[in-house]
């Protein structure tokens, strides 16, 4: 809600706290979803270095969790776009939607991200 009201810093504070708790509890998918919300806000602020770092963390997290290869491939696609600094907020939304579906549909493919 805070982000929707334009209170980006407040939203980031809440999201980062939730992310840390999910990481502590080793909840990969929910950590990924919150991480992507944070990445979207970072993109709004032009904080590409932080987006790159988050994308790298997502790949590491999903590799450790041994998620389905298609899901890992989607996160790696996001990571590559972040590294090239071509990732967009639309790509973040697309990956969020994909991860929500992939959680219950293992093997679901994501071939491209908007950007």
Q: Comparing C-alpha atoms, which of 108, 111, 42, 47 is closest to residue 76?
A: 111
Summarize pLDDT for 23-58 with one digit per residue, the tens. 899 888 899 899 999 999 999 889 999 999 999 998
Element (H, E) at 108: none
Q: Which is higher by pLDDT, 7 or 60? A: 60
* DSSP secondary structure letter of residue 93: H
For the entire predicted model, the pTM comes to 0.83
Q: What is residue 35's predicted lDDT score, i.e. its pLDDT?
A: 93
Q: What is the mean pLDDT of residues 9-35?
A: 89
Mean pLDDT across the chain: 86
Q: Map residue 111 onto helix, strand or coil.
A: coil
Determine the pLDDT at residue 2: 47
List C-alpha distances in Å: 111 to 25, 46, 76: 30, 26, 11
By the 8 A CB rule, do 78 and 48 touch? no
The whole-number pLDDT of residue 19 equals: 92
State pLDDT tens for residues 65-111. Answer: 777 889 888 889 999 999 999 999 899 999 999 988 888 887 888 87
Q: Output the CA–CA distances (angstroms, integers) from residue 44 to 39, 51, 82, in the order listed.
A: 9, 11, 14
């Amino acid at each position: 809600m805070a982000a929707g009201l334009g209170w980006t810093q407040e939203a980031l504070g809440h999201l980062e706290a939730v992310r840390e708790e999910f990481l502590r509890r080793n909840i990969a998918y929910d950590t990924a979803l919150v991480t992507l919300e944070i990445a979207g806000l970072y993109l709004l602020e032009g904080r590409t270095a932080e987006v790159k770092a988050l994308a790298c963390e997502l790949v590491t997290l999903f590799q450790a969790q041994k998620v389905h290869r298609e899901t890992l491939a989607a996160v790696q696609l996001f990571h590559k776009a972040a590294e090239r600094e071509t990732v967009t907020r639309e790509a973040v939304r697309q990956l969020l939607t994909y991860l929500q579906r992939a959680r219950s549909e293992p093997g679901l493919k994501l071939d491209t991200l908007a950007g």
